Amino acid sequence: MKYENLLLKITNRILYITINRESKLNALNKLTLAELHFAVTDSLTNPLIGGIILTGSGNKAFVAGADILEFSSFNADEGGNLSREGHNKVFNVIHNCYKPIVAAINGFALGGGLELAMACHIRVASDNARLGLPEVTLGLIPGYGGTQRLTQLIGRGKALEMILTANMISANEALNIGLVNYVETPENLITKAEEILNKILSHSSTAVASAIRAVNAGLTDGKDGFEAEINEFSSCFTTPDFQEGIAAFKEKRKPMFTGIA
């Protein structure tokens, strides 16, 4: 597939996805969302890819939200479809991706941009990043999972404060409330994301996938997270990685995981 709004590169098992609409602060238009859907879905079956780093082009914005001009004349049905399709095709796909995804937040992460970062598994922000959900200033609410994922990440009180005031917060404030995992200088942002991802990629990918599924199950309506954990734990015992992990422990050596399911 030829991408217009994304830059893709695979190096050492990491797929780097850069949203590349710098003149529009990387705002998520329809094409960008479609390309994100394709890139993440495609990565699942690509054996060269162990995990993903998602960032924005330039040094000003990660993503400054959904593309406001595209939905400015929408009616209720069109608005609902935009939200539902975004959930189903992009934000839930990222959230449920069993290959780990680290967001490298290199500037503004607003509205759909913060929602995109929150759908990722881990977030690293540059110290100049500004994060917020400003939808109420447009007469809207977050529509790509923000009301739910922000509440899960930082609790109801702080989430309601951010959503209702529409205040942007700094990277360090985001760190203090658990919205991002680390804050780095812009120069070190990708290096830190790589360090985290490489650590994860050194482990069993089948176990990593099981852990992501078990954690996500507890946050999914109608699923019992504890039951999911029991099932995922059980299925780990069938994997070659489990045999290898135990053998390496006994032989006092580093495991050589294959990730074969």
Q: Is 90 in the site for ligand COA (CB under 6 A)?
A: no
Strand order in the sheet with 6-11: 6-11, 14-19, 51-56, 101-105, 122-126, 182-184
Catalytic residue from among 4, 22, 115, 194: 115
Closest CA to 6 of 31, 43, 42, 41: 31
Cβ 25 to ligand COA, closest distance in Å? Answer: 4
Mark the segment that binds ligand COA (CB under 6 A) among 41-49, 92-100, 108-116, 228-236.
108-116
Let me know if 115 is a catalytic residue: yes
Closest contact distance (angstroms) between CB of 9 and ligand COA is: 25
The answer to whether residue 110 forms part of the interface with ligand COA (CB under 6 A) is yes
Query: Max Cα separation, the chain?
Result: 65
Q: Does 115 bind ligand COA (CB under 6 A)?
A: no
Instruction: Write down the least CB distance from residue 56 to ligand COA, Å.
Output: 12
**Segment interacting with ligand COA, rule: CB under 6 A, options 20-28, 82-90, 151-159, 240-248:** 20-28
Considering only residues 21-60, where is the footprint of ligand COA by CB under 6 A?
24-25, 27
111 binds ligand COA (CB under 6 A): yes
Q: Using the rule CB under 6 A, is 134 a contact of ligand COA?
A: yes
**Site for ligand COA contains 69 (CB under 6 A):** yes
CA atoms of 76 and 85, how far apart (whole Å): 14
CA distance 143 to 139: 12
Q: Is residue 139 packed enough to be buried (19+ CB in 10 Å), middle (13-18) or exposed (0-12)?
A: exposed
| Site for ligand COA contains 124 (CB under 6 A) | no
**Site for ligand COA contains 68 (CB under 6 A):** yes
| Strand ranges of the sheet holding 61-63, from the earlier edge strand across to the other edge | 61-63, 108-110, 130-132, 169-170
Computed from CA positions of residues 10, 127, 121, 42, in that sequence, does the dihedral angle turn out positive or negative?
A: negative
Task: Establish whether 135 is a catalytic residue.
Answer: yes
How many residues bind ligand COA (CB under 6 A)? The answer is 16
Asked if 144 is part of the footprint of ligand COA (rule: CB under 6 A), the reply reads no
Stretch that binds ligand COA, among 30-38, 91-99, 110-118, 177-185 (CB under 6 A): 110-118
Distances in whole angstroms, Cα of residue 253 to Cα of each of 121, 191, 222, 245: 29, 27, 42, 10
66 near ligand COA, rule: CB under 6 A:
yes
Q: Where are the alpha helices (DSSP H) in the chain?
A: 30-44, 68-71, 76-86, 92-96, 112-119, 146-154, 156-165, 171-176, 189-201, 205-217, 225-236, 240-250
Instruction: Report the interface residues with ligand COA, using CB under 6 A.
Output: 24-25, 27, 64-69, 108, 110-112, 134-135, 138
Instruction: Please list the active-site residues.
Output: 115, 135
